[in-house]
């Protein structure tokens, strides 16, 4: 990857990470490890993989949300009709009065 491409990746990574870090500190210093360029390359590869994973998670969540909205539009939830039990009432005659007993 050329130098311009690597710089672009760091800028994009910084823009993605900035909202998460905005409330944590007023000033943030970013240091690079001195010495071995292989270590720097490995860190960049790890940062790129982290960025890819974040983007994939966001895309997956957006796709799931879209699918759920589409399912709601296509098939609204069914209205369930629950059968009701009618009370069984009996009227009994005792002389001049009626006695009603319901179960």
Whether 12 is in a domain gets the answer: yes
Specify the pTM.
0.37
Q: What is the pLDDT of residues 2-45, one digit of tens each?
A: 655 565 565 556 655 555 545 545 555 555 555 566 666 777 88
Whether 10 is in a domain gets the answer: yes
Query: Mean pLDDT, the chain, as a whole number?
Result: 75
Q: How far apart are CA 36 and CA 43, in angstroms?
A: 11
Whether 44 is in a domain gets the answer: yes
Whether 80 is in a domain gets the answer: no
Nearest 5°: phi and psi at 91?
Answer: -110, 125
Q: What is the SS3 assignment for 9-55?
A: HHHHHHHHHHHHHCCCCCCCCCCCCCCCHHHHHHHHHHHHHHHHHHH
Torsion angle, alpha carbons of 34, 40, 43, 48, to 10: 140
């Amino acid at each position: 990857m050329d130098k311009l491409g690597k710089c672009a990746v760091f800028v994009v990574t910084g823009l993605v990470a900035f909202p998460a870090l905005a409330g944590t500190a007023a000033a943030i210093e970013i240091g690079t490890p001195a010495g071995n360029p292989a270590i720097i390359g490995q860190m960049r590869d790890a940062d790129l993989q982290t960025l890819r994973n974040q983007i994939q998670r966001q895309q997956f969540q957006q796709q799931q949300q879209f699918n759920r909205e589409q399912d709601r539009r296509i098939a609204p939830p069914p209205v369930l009709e629950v059968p009701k039990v009618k009370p069984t009432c009996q009227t009994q005659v005792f002389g001049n009065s009626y006695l009603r007993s319901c179960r």
